[in-house]
């Protein structure tokens, strides 16, 4: 028993370190794919430097910005989780006979809120990667604006990603059911790894392309509003000149000098 007790702290430490390295790998993946897509979409800002060197130079700063933005998302979801748990405890205290229904309701509420947040803030890490001065709370705000302005497009892409993710899960379930002693088991895990890798890269590239598309529409809308404002000001100026000319003609007709 003493050996088991002494072995628990290293297990917790290993779990934390493993989780940190996994998160770091995901952030590096998001930043590296984002810069590759940005290079293909916009081209290299510095023609004298190699694209690979430029990407590696930008990665540390991008990872830090993604970390800050992810921390904001974590704290936001944690606050929602605390509120839902507090409401659940109060409901159980006052209505203990409906505990199963209360649990189902609050579980559905938490999953629904988490799903809504994942949709609203789906561009937050992308914005933190590509826009140098926009990370943390401003990135969440900018992502919220872009998603709300392009609701149908974002929901369509989200549904497509969800369906493809369900297919990947089905493949994983099929591989887990294979005979562990048969040669198809390791081959199935290799195929599953490749499918998951392709799905991850495809999802990130799709999100980046969607982000560029939404930004392009936003800039086009802004330019249209600016052009409309210029035309309105020009029309107002001509109307004002026309009014002055009418007043002068009126004064010249009835009050000749």
- Tokens 């998001």 correspond to 30
The answer to whether position 201 is within a domain reads no
Q: Which residue has the higher pLDDT, 241 or 152?
A: 152
The backbone torsions φ and ψ at residue 24, rounded to the nearest 5 degrees and listed phi first, read -65, -40
pTM for this entry: 0.69
The answer, yes or no, to whether residue 254 has pLDDT greater than 60, is no
pLDDT of residue 243: 58
Residue pair 62/35 in contact (Cβ under 8 Å)? The answer is yes
Domain that holds residue 98: 1-149
Residue pair 40/5 in contact (Cβ under 8 Å)? The answer is no
**Cα angle at 164 between 159 and 166, to 5 degrees?**
95
**Cα angle at 205 between 199 and 210, to 5 degrees?**
120
pLDDT (mean) for 209-220: 76
CA distance 136 to 68: 5
The answer, yes or no, to whether residue 95 has pLDDT greater than 60, is yes
The answer, yes or no, to whether residue 244 has pLDDT greater than 70, is no
Q: What percent of the chain has pLDDT over 70?
A: 77
Q: Which of 5-9, 62-66, 106-110 has the lowest mean pLDDT?
A: 5-9
The answer to whether position 54 is within a domain reads yes
The answer to whether position 81 is within a domain reads yes
Q: Which residue has the higher pLDDT, 142 or 110?
A: 142
CB-count exposure of residue 50 (10 Å: 0-12, 13-18, 19+): exposed
Residue pair 204/34 in contact (Cβ under 8 Å)? The answer is yes
Of the pLDDT bands very low, low, confident and very high (cuts 50, 70, 90), residue 255 is low
The answer to whether position 180 is within a domain reads no
Which of 230, 78, 207 has its CA nearest to residue 130? Answer: 207
pLDDT (mean) for 16-25: 81
CB-count exposure of residue 106 (10 Å: 0-12, 13-18, 19+): middle
pLDDT (mean) for 56-63: 83
The answer to whether position 121 is within a domain reads yes
Residue pair 18/8 in contact (Cβ under 8 Å)? The answer is no
pLDDT of residue 155: 86
Q: Which of 33-42, 58-67, 223-232 has the lowest mean pLDDT?
A: 223-232
DSSP label at residue 43: -
Q: What percent of the chain has pLDDT over 90?
A: 0
Q: Which of 35-49, 122-136, 159-173, 236-250 has the lowest mean pLDDT?
A: 236-250
Name the 3-class secondary structure at 179.
Answer: coil
pLDDT (mean) for 14-21: 79
The answer to whether position 191 is within a domain reads no
Residue pair 146/138 in contact (Cβ under 8 Å)? The answer is no
Residue pair 204/29 in contact (Cβ under 8 Å)? The answer is yes
- Tokens read off for 180: 């562990």
The answer to whether position 190 is within a domain reads no
The answer to whether position 252 is within a domain reads no
CA distance 171 to 169: 5
Q: What is the mean pLDDT of the chain?
A: 77
pLDDT of residue 96: 77
The DSSP-derived string for 74-93 is: HHHHHHHHHHHHHHHHHHHH
pLDDT of residue 242: 60
Q: Which residue has the higher pLDDT, 179 or 243?
A: 179
Give the chain's domain count: 1
pLDDT (mean) for 223-246: 54
What tens digit of pLDDT does each residue of 133-179 get?
888 888 898 989 888 888 888 888 888 888 888 888 888 888 777 77
CA distance 130 to 211: 11
CA distance 135 to 129: 8
């Amino acid at each position: 028993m003493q050996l088991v007790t002494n072995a628990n702290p290293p297990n917790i430490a290993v779990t934390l370190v493993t989780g940190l390295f996994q998160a770091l790998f995901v952030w590096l993946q998001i930043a590296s794919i984002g810069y590759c897509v940005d290079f293909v979409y916009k081209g290299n800002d510095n023609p004298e430097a190699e694209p690979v060197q430029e990407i590696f130079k930008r990665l540390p700063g991008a990872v830090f910005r993604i970390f800050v933005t992810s921390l904001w998302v974590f704290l936001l979801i944690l606050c929602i989780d605390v509120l839902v748990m507090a409401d659940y405890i109060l409901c159980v205290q006052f209505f203990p006979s409906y505990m199963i229904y209360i649990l189902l309701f609050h579980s559905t509420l938490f999953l629904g809120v988490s799903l809504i947040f994942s949709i609203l803030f789906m561009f937050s890490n992308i914005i933190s990667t590509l826009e140098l001065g926009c990370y943390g709370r401003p990135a969440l705000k900018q992502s919220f604006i872009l998603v709300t302005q392009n609701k149908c497009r974002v929901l369509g892409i989200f549904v497509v990603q969800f369906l493809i993710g369900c297919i990947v899960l089905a493949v994983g379930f099929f591989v887990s059911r294979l005979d562990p002693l048969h040669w198809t088991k390791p081959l199935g895990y290799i195929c599953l790894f490749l499918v998951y890798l392709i799905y991850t890269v495809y999802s990130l590239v799709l999100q980046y392309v969607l982000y560029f598309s939404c930004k392009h529409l936003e800039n086009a809308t802004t330019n249209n509003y600016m052009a409309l404002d210029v035309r309105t000001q020009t029309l107002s100026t001509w109307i004002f000149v026309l009014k002055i000319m009418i007043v002068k003609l009126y004064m010249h007709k009835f009050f000749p000098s």
